[in-house]
A and B are shown apart, each in its own frame.
Chain A
Amino acid sequence: MIRTSVPITYTSGEQIEVYRFSIPVTVGVPLLALFLQAFIPRRFPFFSIFDLPLLVTIFFAMARRNPISGLFTGAAIGLAQDMLGAYPIGIYGIAKTVVGYGASSLGAKLDVENAGARLLVTLGFYLLHAAVYFTVARGMVNMTLNWSWSRGLLAGLANAVLGVGLYFLLDKFKQRT
């Protein structure tokens, strides 16, 4: 199917294709993302700017297009990421729950299959994720974080670019319902 130049199109419920994934992919891909996120920055410190678990959360949520599934996927991945970190468990969990819910809700209404849409959606959800994280971290854990728009946009753009490539790779594992 040849797509038009409009990156984001409103789609009716009947037109939306809902995908599912095999159990090994459902479990293995988030675990692999967590592992790579913990391992690669040790050798390449600049890699810590990426958030692979977030990209995986967005991908699964958008592909499944089910808000319940999306929020639980985000919660599970976020909590697992919290467990590996030094801070209290739940900061990433809350942020990724919101992102998972939002991405799946958006995926249910918009066609986010093309690269341009994915880039914009990922950038937006990265900023949303950062905003929720900062709010929770400052409001509840009393961490002294400084918000930087330039840094947030730069990191969001980097994640969006990586996300577009990653999504096309993960598209191979999609199974039609």
Chain B
Amino acid sequence: MESVLGRYRNLTILVGVLFLQVLGLAVQVKRGADAENTRLIRIWAVDTITPFERVLIWAQNGSSNLWHNYFFLRGVRAENRQLKQQIEQMRLEQVRLSEDAGQAHRLQQLLSFKEQVIAKTVPAQVIGSSGSDLSRSIYIDKGSNEGIASDMAVITAGGIVGKVLRVYPSTSLVLMINDQTSGVGAMLEKSRLQGVLKGTPEGAVILERVMSDEQVVPGDTVLSSGGDQIFPKGLPVGTVTKVSPGREMFLNIQVKPAADLSRLEEVLVVTQKKERDAVVDSGVRVRAADILAQRLPSVPNKPPADIAVSGSATSENAKVAVPGPVTSPAAKPLSPTDSSGKPKVVQPAATGPIPSAPGGGTVAAPSAANAVKPGGAHSVPVVGQATPGHSQNGDAPKKAPPTAVSGDPVSTVSPSAGSNPAGSPVTPATARPKPPVSQPNPQPPATDDPH
């Protein structure tokens, strides 16, 4: 026996080493990939490699910033002008979108929906990858020390990236959506068809579990459905690029991710999601006459000259420069006026704070270009760092004009900005002159019915 083992010594050792590895692999597979006994050696390996990556990234960013911030400034002025124009256009667009969001929010209130919004994000830098073309995962430079935990969503301004798979003290491993072991609840924006977004071994992304008799066309936008309890509903996922019949009566839908997964540099980790109940009617009955009074145009209680026409009226500490139905936590509550300019009695359910900018956001008077939206409604852009669309206490804003908010683009996904319970944007006194008496009154919405 000994002679046999001695003769095949090398082969015996090979079999022994392979057996040990197979045994270890089997234990991991049975216990799950996150077994604690594998974590320590992973931490050692990651701690060995990532410091060098951090140093390289730091040096790379330093040299890049030096070049871009000091030497390469050609065309900045023209670009600045172009961006300003773009901002103006986007403000108008945002007013329109906030109206839509407000309407959606009101409908959610009616149905007692719970909505999930992004409450807090942590920016992180991508410092490395798994280095294999069979595994799509990246390392970011934030870990448990910064509040990162497993199964947190990782996104960019473009769309979703993946989820946190493993957390180390100062780094985290993120499994991207194009990894073959990844799965994301997704839906098509137009048809609202839901499916499961999965990665393929080649690194492509496909939407599974959509029946073949459904109508899906290339170009359709794919959003997160929220069904996976990781990604909040409504985040952009990608665009359908190809649709073909698949196996077992399902379509084979190829999706191009909205975020450029191959060139990620900075990402946002969603560290806190807020799930809040849509605020249903508080029990205080609102008279139809009051709602109609809010909708009807009224005479301004201040001369129009006082109203800021340009952006020069920006003030500090959430100061409101436009009289009429614009409120903020630091400002007076909404007081619709009647035709004589006297304040009307406002029911509690019809009032509430405008979404404000925590930490000293300012409410600026709109410029002439964006003060009046095409439909005639008035908008008040809120400038400053903000948690847009959320009031401090998490309640939906009850009465506010459509509000344009600038700030963290990811945080603007909340659909609650600028809603008002009357079912239409509140038209401030200065937006348009009072029409003749014969103006038709809109019908009160179903929620206005006290019964």
Q: Interface 1/0s, chain A 12-45, versus B by CB < 8 A?
A: 0000000000000000000100110111011001
Given known pairs A35-B52, A94-B25, A136-B25, the reply for A75 and B17 (CB within 8 Å) is yes
Given known pairs A42-B129, A85-B130, A86-B137, the reply for A93 and B46 (CB within 8 Å) is no
Taking a contact as CB atoms under 8 Å apart, the answer to whether A143 and B10 are in contact is no
Instruction: Mark out the residues of chain A between 76 and 118 whose CB falls within 8 Å of any chain B CB in the assembled complex.
Output: 79-81, 83-94, 97-98, 101, 105
Given known pairs A34-B49, A84-B46, A86-B165, the reply for A48 and B129 (CB within 8 Å) is yes
Taking a contact as CB atoms under 8 Å apart, the answer to whether A38 and B49 are in contact is yes
Q: List chain B residues, Cβ under 8 A from A75.
A: 17, 21
A156 contacts B by Cβ under 8 Å: no
Closest residue of chain B to A91, judged by CB? Answer: B25
Bound: A152/B137 CA distance, A? 21
Instruction: Mark out the residues of chain B between 220 and 266 whose CB falls within 8 Å of any chain A CB in the assembled complex.
Output: 262-264
Taking a contact as CB atoms under 8 Å apart, the answer to whether A84 and B130 are in contact is yes
Taking a contact as CB atoms under 8 Å apart, the answer to whether B18 and A94 are in contact is yes
Given known pairs A38-B139, A72-B17, A81-B131, the reply for A140 and B29 (CB within 8 Å) is yes
Bound: A35/B50 CA distance, A? 8
CB of B14 to closest CB in A, whole Å: 5
Taking a contact as CB atoms under 8 Å apart, the answer to whether A140 and B139 are in contact is no
Q: List chain B residues, Cβ under 8 A from A37.
A: 131-132
B41 contacts A by Cβ under 8 Å: yes
Taking a contact as CB atoms under 8 Å apart, the answer to whether B41 and A89 are in contact is yes
CB of B13 to closest CB in A, whole Å: 6
A144 contacts B by Cβ under 8 Å: yes
Taking a contact as CB atoms under 8 Å apart, the answer to whether B22 and A140 are in contact is yes
Q: List chain B residues, Cβ under 8 A from A84.
A: 45-46, 49, 130-131
Bound: A31/B21 CA distance, A? 21
Instruction: Mark out the residues of chain A between 33 and 77 whose CB falls within 8 Å of any chain B CB in the assembled complex.
Output: 34-35, 37-39, 41-42, 45, 48-49, 51, 67-68, 71-72, 75
Instruction: Mark out the residues of chain B between 28 and 49 whose CB falls within 8 Å of any chain A CB in the assembled complex.
Output: 28-29, 33, 38, 41-42, 44-46, 48-49
Contacts across chains A and B counted by CB atoms under 8 Å: 133
A1 contacts B by Cβ under 8 Å: no
A141 contacts B by Cβ under 8 Å: yes
Given known pairs A86-B179, A97-B17, the reply for A35 and B53 (CB within 8 Å) is yes
B449 contacts A by Cβ under 8 Å: no
Contact of A42 among B10, B128, B132, B173 (CB under 8 A): B128
Taking a contact as CB atoms under 8 Å apart, the answer to whether A87 and B129 are in contact is no
Q: List chain A residues, Cβ under 8 A from B56.
A: 39
A169 contacts B by Cβ under 8 Å: no
Interface size class of B (residues with CB under 8 A): 35 or more
Taking a contact as CB atoms under 8 Å apart, the answer to whether B131 and A41 are in contact is yes
Q: List chain B residues, Cβ under 8 A from A144.
A: 180, 201
Taking a contact as CB atoms under 8 Å apart, the answer to whether A97 and B21 are in contact is yes
Given known pairs A85-B137, A97-B14, A144-B180, the reply for A90 and B25 (CB within 8 Å) is yes
Bound: A98/B19 CA distance, A? 12
Contact of A141 among B29, B132, B179, B264 (CB under 8 A): B29
A4 contacts B by Cβ under 8 Å: no
B133 contacts A by Cβ under 8 Å: yes
Taking a contact as CB atoms under 8 Å apart, the answer to whether B17 and A71 are in contact is yes
Taking a contact as CB atoms under 8 Å apart, the answer to whether B135 and A38 are in contact is no
Q: Interface 1/0s, chain B 1-18, versus A by CB < 8 A?
A: 000000000100110011
A5 contacts B by Cβ under 8 Å: no
Taking a contact as CB atoms under 8 Å apart, the answer to whether A34 and B131 are in contact is yes
CB of B337 to closest CB in A, whole Å: 59
Given known pairs A31-B48, A90-B21, A136-B25, the reply for A101 and B137 (CB within 8 Å) is no
Identify the A interface with B (CB < 8 A).
31, 34-35, 37-39, 41-42, 45, 48-49, 51, 67-68, 71-72, 75, 79-81, 83-94, 97-98, 101, 105, 133, 136-137, 140-146, 155
Pull 25 A–B residue pairs with CB atoms less than 8 Å apart, ordered by A: A34-B131, A35-B53, A38-B49, A42-B127, A42-B128, A42-B129, A48-B129, A49-B133, A51-B132, A83-B41, A84-B49, A85-B137, A86-B135, A87-B135, A89-B24, A89-B38, A90-B21, A90-B25, A92-B132, A97-B14, A136-B22, A140-B26, A141-B29, A144-B201, A155-B133
Can you add 6 more A-B contacts, CB < 8 Å, to A35-B52, A39-B53, A42-B127? A38-B131, A41-B131, A71-B13, A81-B131, A84-B131, A87-B181
